[in-house]
Homo-oligomer: A and B are copies of this chain.
Amino acid sequence: MDYASTVAEALAAIVSRDFRSGLYLKLTEGLHDGLDELTYPTFSALARAGEPVSAATIGPQVGLDRSVVSRRAQTLARAGLVREESDPTDRRRVLLSLTAEGLAVLDQCRRRLREAIESRLSDWPQSDREEFARHLREFAASPL
C-alpha cells in the first residue's frame, strides 16, 4: 500500500469517536468533580491560554458557541477549577482562568497523557519516538 493510504487508514482510526472519547475519558476519569469528557476541552483551552481570557475568545478555539463555553466554565468554577472575574477594563467581560487547584489537576492530566503515550511507544527506539513526535507535530500543524 502507498504511504498516503496508510496514513489515511491510521488517521481514520484516530479521528474516530471511540478514540477521542476513550482518550478524554482516560485523561479525566476519577480525577476531579466537574472535569469530564465534556468540560475537558474548555479546561484544556484555558490551560493553553495561560492568561485570563473571555468565553468569546475560547469559543472558536474549542469549536463551541460562547453560550456553551459559559456553561462549561460555570461547571468548572463550581468545582473549584476555574476562576471567573470581571474584567476591570470592560465590565461586560468575564475573565476565565485556572485556579491553583485547576493548575494542579492540569498537571495530573498532562502526566496521564504523557504516561499513556510513553507506554504506547515504550518498545520504540528513542530516535523513532523523537522523529515521530516531530512528524506528527508538523502534520497536525494545520488541518487537512
With contacts A63-B16, A110-B5, A131-B135 known, is A10 near B140, CB below 8 A?
A: yes
Listed stretches A76-84, A92-100, A117-125; interface member: A117-125
Main SS class of interface, A: helix
State the oligomeric state as a number of copies: 2
**Do the beta carbons of B143 and A11 come within 8 Å of each other?**
no
On chain A, the number of residues with a Cβ less than 8 Å from chain B's Cβ atoms is 54
For the complex, is A32 an interface residue (Cβ under 8 Å from B)? no
**Do the beta carbons of B3 and A130 come within 8 Å of each other?**
yes
Binding site for B on A (CB under 8 A): 2-23, 26, 41, 44, 62-63, 110, 113-118, 120-121, 124, 128-144
